[in-house]
Amino acid sequence: MSTHAQSNQADHDHDDHASTDAELCPRFHKAVELVGRRWTGAIVRVLLTGPHRFNELLQAIPGLSDRLLTERLRELENEGLITREVQPGSPVRVSYQLSCAGAELQGAMDALGHWAERWIKLEEKSDERPVRG
């Protein structure tokens, strides 16, 4: 194949890849919206370490309310990212763990964590009170 033909083939291959990316855009957008919801990333991050009960999740994620945790867990379960296991007994114990699909977020969460360490600046909290004059 001539150099010009190879170049045209490469351009064609690139165009095919670009159109494939455009077709995947709705899936990517849905994934980002799902994982990017307030508290969802933190919940997934904690569950990456293993199964947790409801109160363990509340303790591990400061500032998260019971109501929002319940809502996010239902959303994640409905999307197939977590499973809910009810253990009979008195009292009944419920634990949550990532499904295979949820566990596959490990690489994305690690990459996001590395990116955040490099690029996200946090405001430093000062223990000193302002001096009033």
Domain harbouring 56, CATH code: 1.10.10.10
Q: Is residue 48 part of a domain?
A: yes
81 secondary structure, DSSP code: S
**pLDDT range class, residue 124, cuts 50, 70, 90:** confident
Q: Is residue 25 part of a domain?
A: no
- What domain range includes position 84? 39-111
Q: Is residue 59 part of a domain?
A: yes
Most confident stretch, 20-29, 57-66, 117-126: 57-66
Q: Is residue 80 part of a domain?
A: yes
How many angstroms separate the Cα of 38 from the Cα of each of 73, 89, 122, 127? 12, 33, 18, 28
- pLDDT tens for 56-100 read 999 999 999 999 999 999 999 999 999 999 999 999 999 999 999
Least reliable range by pLDDT among 27-31, 63-67, 105-109: 27-31
Crossing angle of the two packed helices 40-47 and 66-78, in degrees rounded to 10: 70
Least reliable range by pLDDT among 18-27, 59-68, 74-83, 106-115: 18-27
What's the pTM value of the predicted model, to 2 decimals? 0.74
Looking at the structure of the chain, the number of domains it has is 1
Q: Is residue 101 part of a domain?
A: yes
